[in-house]
Amino acid sequence: MMTISNALHNEIFLTYLAISGGLLGFAGVVLGILTAIGKKVSSIWKTYLGWLVMAPLVLGTIFLGRTATIIGVALLAIFGFKEFARATGLYDDWWLTGLVYLGIVLLGTASFVTDPRLGYPGWYGLFMASPAYVVGALLLVPILRNRAKGQLQQVALAIVGFIYFGWMFSHLGFLANSEFAYGYILYLIFAVEINDVAAFTCGKIFGKHKLRENISPNKTIEGAVGAICISLAVPWLLWFSFPHFEPWHLVVAGLVVGIGGQLGDLVISYIKRDIGIKDMGVVIQGHGGILDRVDSMIFVAPIFFHVVRWIHGIH
Amino acid sequence: MTEWEYHTPPDIDETMSEHLGNFPRQPYMLIYAIRSAAALLLRAWMRVYHRLRVDGQENMPETGSFVLVCNHTSHLDTLSMLCSVPLKRLHQTFPAAAADYFFSSLPRSAVSAILINALPFDRKFRGAESLTVCSELLSNDGNVLIIFPEGTRTTTGELGRFRSGIGRLLAGKDLPVLPCHLDGGLRAWPKGKMIPRPFSLRLRIGAPRSYGHLEKTSESVRQICQELQESVAELGRRNT
């Protein structure tokens, strides 16, 4: 169970804390040297400063325990969905937008309460059933206000918004109920970020052939393959996160992040390209909006969750 | 299949602090909720602490845009006026506020934009531009603009000279303008004091008039300013 006192004694959490501190410190030193010898790295500094803000926020939330983690994920889902709603214009419709907010609150509540039949923390049945209720409620809105014109687009956007940015992403919060919550959540966050960086770096170094030129012209097949290779190695290095995993579980964990992460990136890319915007919003300097930051996690979290649940069960 | 139309708002790549300082602001659900809650609290506070009385509320047009002009003795003027408009018009009510004071820092901008719904008015450098913003606001239906034509708070209680901006805004437009007078503001919250004192307030709202029949000349602008100043002063005499 995730609590403050457990975090203080949890080797997995403390190890990740040390790794993040080390990585941030190392990156700071490298950037400092690069600046000192006169390289132009000001945009990287911005990104780095963004990380200096985000890393303590994320680790601090996990440190505070299960409740804080579930609330944190729900808030990210709400504000992430809001970016999507504003970008698409769904935000003009306060009924549908408000209902999706309520739906995400329902997901947070389902992740938080105890299962009334089984007695586990987190009501899995309600969590999995909530799309039926929320989608049903969203479809009712045009009927209640007796309007047809333009309603299919608005309801469709709201359903995509709820299912993708709400329900799929909220799986990350539900993981807080697991016995191995620290390992699972921290592995996901680290592996997804490493995967992002690896795709970018491999693309820069080896990139030749465009991956999906109509969606994201800067992504290359070489970058994607390189990222999958690196992501396949990561679970072996972070094996301490899930000591109960067998080797083939590590391969699966690596593939889920390596493939899923890049798919999540591409999903947000084609959404943005269709709408015609560059970033989903402005929250953190050098990182764009919330959705630009968590795009890969949205796709990875539910698949990792269900694969792990299928192999081990989640509790 | 026809293509979907996305209505991306123009402020999509603005940070929150930019959003608060700009005008017009896009509507945000959270901000509306906070503002509505604050308005309810403010109404209760003004009725209890300052025993605010409002006369002439029936003079306010029920539909369409209009302008409220008032004497300016303290921040309580704005708050009293905000309490006198119907709640359903709260988010369409914009007190013009000096940009150099109310939007000078992020916390101030946040209070001005979120709680007061203030329109940043540049009284120093770009007065004409700010007037255009006001004009556009009023050309949309159902907006209420609150203006203090003296331009600054008085320290003596004397009604100052009305600046020409209000005349330029109203000349040649069939736009109702309501003169108002708040009594008690100077005593309750004089300029420079941190906290208002519990003296009673009385707001009088005069009958609407409009200046569509006047052409926009410097002569008519002066005439409008004078007329409005006199009617505010007259309400003041009835107030005391």
Q: How far is B125 from chain A (nearest CA, A)?
A: 29
Q: How far is A211 from chain B (nearest CA, A)?
A: 26
- Going from N- to C-terminal start, the domains of chain A cover 1-64, 67-177, 179-315
Using DSSP, state whether B130 is helix, strand or coil.
helix
Write out the DSSP string of chain A: ---HHHHHH-HHHHHHHHHHHHHHHHHHHHHHHHHHTT---HHHHHHHHHHHHHHHHHHHHHHH-HHHHHHHHHHHHHHHHHHHHHHHTGGG-HHHHHHHHHHHHHHHHHHHSBPTTT--BS-HHHHHHHHHHHHHHHHHHHHHTT--TTHHHHHHHHHHIIIIIIIIHHHHHHGGGSTTHHHHHHHHHHHHHHHHHHHHHHHHHH--SBS-TTT-TT-BHHHHHHHHHHHHHHHHHTGGG-TT--HHHHHHHHHHHHHHHHHHHHHHHHHHHHHT-S-S--SBTTTBSHHHHHHHHHHHHHHHHHHHHHHH---
How much is the average pLDDT of A193-218?
A: 94
- Tokens representing A180 are 């191995």
Report how far residue A127's alpha carbon sits from residue A300's, in angstroms, rounded to the nearest whole number. Answer: 18
Q: How far is A270 from chain B (nearest CA, A)?
A: 14
pLDDT of residue B22: 84
- Tokens representing A211 are 């991956």
pLDDT of residue B24: 87
Report how far residue A298's alpha carbon sits from residue A102's, in angstroms, rounded to the nearest whole number. Answer: 19
Q: Is B12 in Cβ contact with A281 (below 8 Å)?
A: yes
Q: Is the pLDDT of residue B89 over 90?
A: yes
Report how far residue B173's alpha carbon sits from residue B137's, in angstroms, rounded to the nearest whole number. Answer: 13
Residue A167 pLDDT level (bands cut at 50, 70, 90): very high
Q: Which domains are present in chain B?
A: 28-239 (3.40.1130.10)
Q: Examine the predicted complex and report whether its ipTM is higher than 0.85.
A: no
Q: Is the pLDDT of residue A169 over 90?
A: yes
pLDDT of residue A177: 96
How much is the average pLDDT of A138-164?
A: 97
Mutate to test the interface with A, among B12, B19, B29, B30 (most CBs of A within 10 A): B12
Q: Which of A225, A189, A157 lies closest to A297 in space, CA to CA?
A: A189
Q: Is the pLDDT of residue B116 over 80?
A: yes
pLDDT of residue A250: 97
Neighbours of A221 (CB within 10 A): 15
Select, from the ranges A127-136, B179-188, B229-238, the one with the highest average predicted confidence (pLDDT). A127-136
Using DSSP, state whether B161 is helix, strand or coil.
coil
Residue A224 pLDDT level (bands cut at 50, 70, 90): very high
- Residue A35 one-letter amino acid: T
Residue B240 pLDDT level (bands cut at 50, 70, 90): low
pLDDT of residue B175: 94
**Which residues of chain B does A276 touch, with a Cβ-Cβ cutoff of 8 Å?**
6, 8
pLDDT of residue B125: 74
Q: Is the pLDDT of residue B123 over 90?
A: no
How much is the average pLDDT of A269-284?
A: 90
Whole-prediction pTM value?
0.89
Cβ-Cβ contacts under 8 Å for A259 (sequence gap 6 or more): A228
Q: Which of B4, B13, B29 sits opposite A279 (nearest CB)?
A: B13
Q: Cis omega (within 30 of 0) on the bond before B196?
A: no
The chain-wide mean pLDDT, for chain B, equals: 91
Query: Any idea which of A159-168, A228-237, A305-314 has the lowest mean pLDDT?
Result: A305-314
Query: Any idea which of A4-13, A67-76, A272-281, B151-160 has the lowest mean pLDDT?
Result: B151-160
Residue B231 CA: distances (Å) to CA of A148, B62, B78, B85, B179: 50, 22, 19, 20, 6
Residue A46 CA: distances (Å) to CA of A36, A288, A292, B33, B209: 16, 11, 15, 34, 55
Q: Looking at chain B, which residue has its C-alpha nearest residue A83?
A: B12
DSSP state of B23: S
Q: How far is A40 from chain B (nearest CA, A)?
A: 25
**Which residues of chain A does B12 touch, with a Cβ-Cβ cutoff of 8 Å?**
86-87, 277, 281
pLDDT of residue A287: 76
Neighbours of A205 (CB within 10 A): 10
Compute the half-sphere exposure of residue B142: CA atoms within 13 Å on the CB side of its CA.
7
Report how far residue B216's alpha carbon sits from residue B201's, in angstroms, rounded to the nearest whole number. Answer: 36
Residue with tokens 């690896």: A198
Cβ atoms of B208 and B66 closer than 8 Å:
yes
Residue with tokens 């944190």: A72
DSSP state of B209: B
Q: Is the pLDDT of residue A281 over 90?
A: no
- Is the Cα dihedral B10, B16, B22, B28 positive or negative? positive
